[in-house]
């Protein structure tokens, strides 16, 4: 037989694209359209319905950036169309090839009920089936003219990312608003040909099935009447039936399809637009559920449900009905799809608590899995937190984006730092916006790493980020691929069903231990520093407010614990931990609003804490310690005068109750407190740090606190990525404008270093040493005006450290300092929370911070044979896409060097730096609400139970990485204690011995105790 592949493939493509596809709508009549441009921000339906509309013609430009245009559309179904499938077709002037993040619209009936959305790949609105001749159509369409931020492929900065800079030039040209007949024979033929042609092109050129499909298509095209596509479509379909009816091989891979509509809670649009995106997409989804009884849609992020509940009650009611029918599957059990590395431990716990509780309260459903397809790597604390919240499985997609190494598994057991394991899956289709194309199906099979051990994978399908979610075309593809020779088999089902089947067939799946590190998007640990600082400060202020509110509720008559306020503030912070807000990868508008929101949160939490402390009664000046560790520390009273206090963990004490330790001396540029001696060089770096407790051991191997400015232009994804080549070009900031002693007090000494550099940027650092502490603080004020630069602070330490330890949620993780393998070399920038620790046997050093998350650790051997291990904190970046002004302006933060530090020291000082002692006027405060006998048992949260029973909830964990026994003691009569899950539901009774609760923890174990007051 002659090889006619090219002729047949080209013939099929042309006939499909130019004749069949264009004949799907057999006849059309235009709708009459009028328009009204809403002034400023979006308006309620009632206001739009009452507005004055003007005639609007097709082909007219409309829509300033971030604007809202309401269109009134009227028409009548021709009487001769009775019995046909009729729909409205609306093309707002969609641009580009991305179905999300551009023009979108929500179609309302005249009574205000949302009907369905209009999106680039979902332009129809059903009218009737069968239509009644003469039916009148009357819609009000809310159209959002959101700019396509990705239009230039992130190649250059754009002012469109903020309504303040975007201008008012119309972005779109309205193309079409018609009533049309959907020719169902032609529409189905279009899908038949798409599925067969795409399958054919993915099969091997020597595969008989490829040739069978090719010739079947060729013969079918002979039956297509080019003058009557509609009239001949049925016969063409009949000719294709045999080749579509051949069943899949018995060993065919099984793809569990789950409807999905990945909607970032903010990204290239502000939060206010996400609220509308959810209503549009969820309207589409509930409409599609009415058409396809087998349809199942998985949707995470309780925050988005709450927005719909509060703003779109009709859509909310439809969601509730779909949940009852089993077609809508709440998943994920988190408040938002948060970043996987940056939220603190208690914050991740609250993500799960608030998310799962929302679904239980509103749907009676307890979600079983963590659904995080798009976060930028995942902390090794997740398995334990997920299981403690009652989850059985974990899903993500993003690790498939690895830049260097291909992850070796798609289905596996993931083991966290404490030994907890959770069943985990990465969809090998490598997308969370699948459409069941031939290429996707072939990729899923080709990629799948578990061949021979398991047979199934999951594929989330639907257009995301405002693309409208799953479509009828995707559902039709799934039907055709349910059992088709040459393809994987598609089963549309609930993700819980997939995970149950996957676990049953693969119980001995391989184990991956430790973090799921994404070898990409490493700059998200640093970008938008003020957003990250707002999150860190908010987390610690929430801890403080809860602790002192609990203290006041137990000891101050008449004080009412602020349940509702704390709940609302937590949810605000949790929202901003979304994986494109906290990582710093959103447009300027998002981060501008985030900074303002954090300021409001700070103000309100400060007020709540002050009210709780004041409720304890007026009296002397006292110092309040929110840290879980006893502290002996220099503080500043309201007058600014340094004072010294010893304060118990979670408690308070008068100022200056202890004798001051050895005073601080300042001699030239040398600070000495009897514990460490710090010499500042003339260029403002540290020339020497000697640990006097270790016989005067020199800590540094070279200049310390070396500020290095790198050129930073990644290959792509500016705000997300820092590529390894950034290290190759840099400037060390060694020209100091001034080095000045600014404080000489027996309790503290300080030297100020000022620098100017680059494009008018300035750094002022105050290097402070306090009495009684070996911690050296670098209080930093940056006025930043650089572009495409990356600033780091380096500490080259004379230690041979085989690994570094970095704090993560409820523990720490160790990473090698060498680069023996490509996996280790790929970790050239890593994340951590409050501290990084390096050590050799007998001696360690910690670098502590109060607001940054990125760092790198490297190791070199010197000519003298010694080893230098360098820790560098990532301070600030200057990406220009998607926010051209990212990080510009003022930054204030503190980081510290802690010589002679153990892990215990790092943990304690990490809390101390992030939880400054509070000085306030108060009466003799009561005993701490809780205290712990036994090192290594660390209290993370103290609060009243969410059910308002008055029980006290304490969350604690083992922080050293070893087994520990201790006793939790209370500052109130204890009548009972229970171990609970994260949602404060009882798991087992806890023993009470001599008024305390004994605890026995494995390494990094998290324990939640619910304490009943006597």
Catalytic sites, residue numbers: 374
3-state class percentages of the chain: helix first, strand second, coil last, to nearest 5:
30, 30, 40
CB 376 within 8 A of CB 340: yes
Residue 865, C-beta contacts closer than 8 angstroms, at least 6 positions apart: none
Token code pair at residue 981: 């899950």
Count of alpha carbons within 13 angstroms of residue 388, beta-carbon side: 31
Token code pair at residue 276: 């509308």
224-227 own/partner pairs: CB under 8 Å, 24+ apart: 224/15, 224/19, 224/20, 226/19
Collapsing DSSP to helix, strand or coil, 1006 comes out as strand
Q: Round to whole Å and give the CA distance between 884 and 905.
A: 40
Q: Round to whole Å and give the CA distance between 443 and 878.
A: 37
Chain CA centroid to CA 518, Å? 13
Q: Round to whole Å and give the CA distance between 789 and 408.
A: 35
Residue 391: C-alpha distances to residues 278, 422, 508 (Å): 25, 8, 19
- Other C-beta atoms closer than 10 Å to the C-beta of 38 total 16
Residue 360, C-beta contacts closer than 8 angstroms, at least 6 positions apart: 366
Secondary element (H or E) of residue 354: helix 345-363
Nearest to 120 by CA among 464, 406, 627, 516: 464
Q: Round to whole Å and give the CA distance between 379 and 579.
A: 13
Q: Round to whole Å and give the CA distance between 849 and 166.
A: 36
Q: Round to whole Å and give the CA distance between 926 and 622.
A: 12
Token code pair at residue 311: 């703003």
Edge-to-edge strands, sheet with 32-38:
54-55, 32-38, 67-76, 136-145, 104-108, 114-118
Q: Round to whole Å and give the CA distance between 463 and 435.
A: 8
Token code pair at residue 400: 């498939």
Q: Round to whole Å and give the CA distance between 27 and 229.
A: 13
CB 258 within 8 A of CB 495: yes
Q: Round to whole Å and give the CA distance between 125 and 432.
A: 25
CB 189 within 8 A of CB 236: yes
Token code pair at residue 694: 């270790």
CB 342 within 8 A of CB 525: yes
β-strand 411-415 against 511-513: which pairing, if any? Answer: parallel
Nearest to 976 by CA among 966, 986, 963: 986
Token code pair at residue 141: 């369409």
Q: If you write DSSP's letter for every residue of 73-122 in order, what string do you get?
A: EEEE--GGGTTS-EEEEEE----SS-SSSS-EEEEE-TTS-EEEEEBTTB
Token code pair at residue 847: 């670098």
Task: Say which residue the tokens 């330890």 belong to.
Answer: 805
Q: Round to whole Å and give the CA distance between 426 and 433.
A: 14
Collapsing DSSP to helix, strand or coil, 984 comes out as coil
Q: Round to whole Å and give the CA distance between 320 and 318.
A: 5
Token code pair at residue 376: 């930028």
Q: Round to whole Å and give the CA distance between 705 and 728.
A: 20
CB 704 within 8 A of CB 897: yes
């Amino acid at each position: 037989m002659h090889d006619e592949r090219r002729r047949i493939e080209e013939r099929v493509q042309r006939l499909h694209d130019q004749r069949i596809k264009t004949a799907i709508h057999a006849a059309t009549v235009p709708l009459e359209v009028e328009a009204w441009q809403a002034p400023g921000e979006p308006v309620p339906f009632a206001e739009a319905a009452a507005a004055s509309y003007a005639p609007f013609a097709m082909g007219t430009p409309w829509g300033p950036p971030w604007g809202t245009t309401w269109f009134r559309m009227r028409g009548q179904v021709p009487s001769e169309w009775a019995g046909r499938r009729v729909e409205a077709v609306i093309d707002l002037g969609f641009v580009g090839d991305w179905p999300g993040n551009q023009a979108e619209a929500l179609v309302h009936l005249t009574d205000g009920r949302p009907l369905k959305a209009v999106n680039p790949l979902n332009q129809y609105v059903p009218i009737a089936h069968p239509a009644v001749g003469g039916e009148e159509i009357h819609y009000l369409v809310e159209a959002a003219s959101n700019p396509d931020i990705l239009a230039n492929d992130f190649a250059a900065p754009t002012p469109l990312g903020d309504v303040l800079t975007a201008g008012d030039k119309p972005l779109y040209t309205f193309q079409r608003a018609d009533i049309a007949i959907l020719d169902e024979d032609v529409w189905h033929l279009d899908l038949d040909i798409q599925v067969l042609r795409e399958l054919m092109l993915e099969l091997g050129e020597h595969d008989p099935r490829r040739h069978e499909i090719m010739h079947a298509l060729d013969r079918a095209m002979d039956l297509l009447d080019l003058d009557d596509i509609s009239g001949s479509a049925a016969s063409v379909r009949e000719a294709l039936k045999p080749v579509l009816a051949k069943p899949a091989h018995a060993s065919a891979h099984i793809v569990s399809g789950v409807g999905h509509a990945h909607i970032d809670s903010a990204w290239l649009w502000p939060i206010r637009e996400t609220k509308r995106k959810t209503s549009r997409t969820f309207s589409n989804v509930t409409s599609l559920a009415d058409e396809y009884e087998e349809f199942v849609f998985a949707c995470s992020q309780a925050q988005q449900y709450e927005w719909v509940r509060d703003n779109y009650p009709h859509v909310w009611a439809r969601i509730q009905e779909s949940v009852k029918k089993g077609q809508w599957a709440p998943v994920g059990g988190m408040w938002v799809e948060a970043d996987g590395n940056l939220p603190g431990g208690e914050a991740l716990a609250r993500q799960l608590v608030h998310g799962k509780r929302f679904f239980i309260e509103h749907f009676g459903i307890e979600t079983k899995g963590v659904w995080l397809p798009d976060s930028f790597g995942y902390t090794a604390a997740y398995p334990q937190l997920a299981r403690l919240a009652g989850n059985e499985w974990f899903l993500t997609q993003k690790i498939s984006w690895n830049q260097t190494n291909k992850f070796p598994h798609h289905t596996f057991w993931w083991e966290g730092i404490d030994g907890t394991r959770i069943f985990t899956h990465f969809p090998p289709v490598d997308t969370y916006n699948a459409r069941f194309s031939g290429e996707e199906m072939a990729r899923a099979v080709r990629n799948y790493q578990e061949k021979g051990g398991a047979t199934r994978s999951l594929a989330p399908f639907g257009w995301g980020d405002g693309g409208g979610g799953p479509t009828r075309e995707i559902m039709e593809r799934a039907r055709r691929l349910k059992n088709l020779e040459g393809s994987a088999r598609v089963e549309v089902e609930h993700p819980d069903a997939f995970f149950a089947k996957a676990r049953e067939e693969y119980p001995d799946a391989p184990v991956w231990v430790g973090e799921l590190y994404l070898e990409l998007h490493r700059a998200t640990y640093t970008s938008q520093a003020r957003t990250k600082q707002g999150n860190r400060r908010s987390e610690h202020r929430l801890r403080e407010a809860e602790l002192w509110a609990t203290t006041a509720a137990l000891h101050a008559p008449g004080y009412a614990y602020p349940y509702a306020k704390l709940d609302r503030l937590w949810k605000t912070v949790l929202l901003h931990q979304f994986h494109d807000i906290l990582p710093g990868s959103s447009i300027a508008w998002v981060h501008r609003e985030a900074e303002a929101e954090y300021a409001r949160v700070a103000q309100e939490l400060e007020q709540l804490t002050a009210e709780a402390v004041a409720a304890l009664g007026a009296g002397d000046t006292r110092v309040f310690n929110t840290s879980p560790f006893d502290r002996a520390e220099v503080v500043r009273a309201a007058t600014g005068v340094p004072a010294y206090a010893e304060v118990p963990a979670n408690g308070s004490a008068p100022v200056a109750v202890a004798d001051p330790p050895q005073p601080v001396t300042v001699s030239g540029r040398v600070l000495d407190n009897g514990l460490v001696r710090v010499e500042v060089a003339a260029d403002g770096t540290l020339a020497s740090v000697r640990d006097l407790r270790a016989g005067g051991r020199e800590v540094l191997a070279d200049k310390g606190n070396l500020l290095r400015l790198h050129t930073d232009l990644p290959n792509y994804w500016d705000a997300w990525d820092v590529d390894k080549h950034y290290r190759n070009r840099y400037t060390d900031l060694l020209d100091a404008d001034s080095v000045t002693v600014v404080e000489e007090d027996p309790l503290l000494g300080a030297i100020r270093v000022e620098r100017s550099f680059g494009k008018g940027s300035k750094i002022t650092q105050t290097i402070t040493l306090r009495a009684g502490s070996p911690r050296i603080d670098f209080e930093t004020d940056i006025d930043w005006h650089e572009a495409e630069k990356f600033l780091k602070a380096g500490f080259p330490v004379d230690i041979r450290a085989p690994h570094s330890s970095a704090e993560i949620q409820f523990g720490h993780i160790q990473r090698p300092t060498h680069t023996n393998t490509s996996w280790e070399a790929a970790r050239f920038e890593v994340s951590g929370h409050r501290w990084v620790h390096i050590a050799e046997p007998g001696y360690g050093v910690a670098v502590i911070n109060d607001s940054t998350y990125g760092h790198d650790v490297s190791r070199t051997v010197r000519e003298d044979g010694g080893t230098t291990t360098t820790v560098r904190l990532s301070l600030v970046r200057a990406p220009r896409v998607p926010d051209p002004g990212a990080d510009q302006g003022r930054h204030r933060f503190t980081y510290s060097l802690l010589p002679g530090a153990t892990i215990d020291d790092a943990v304690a000082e990490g809390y101390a730096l992030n939880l400054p002692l509070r000085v306030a006027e108060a009466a003799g405060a009561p005993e701490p609400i809780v205290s712990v006998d036994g090192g290594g048992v660390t209290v993370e949260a103290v609060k009243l139970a969410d059910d308002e029973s008055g029980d006290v909830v304490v969350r604690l964990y083992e922080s050293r990485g070893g087994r520990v026994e201790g006793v939790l003691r209370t500052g109130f009569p204890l009548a009972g204690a229970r171990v609970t899950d994260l949602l404060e539901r009882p798991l087992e009774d806890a023993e009470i011995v001599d008024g305390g609760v004994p605890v026995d923890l494995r390494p990094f174990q998290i324990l939640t105790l619910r304490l009943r007051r006597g």
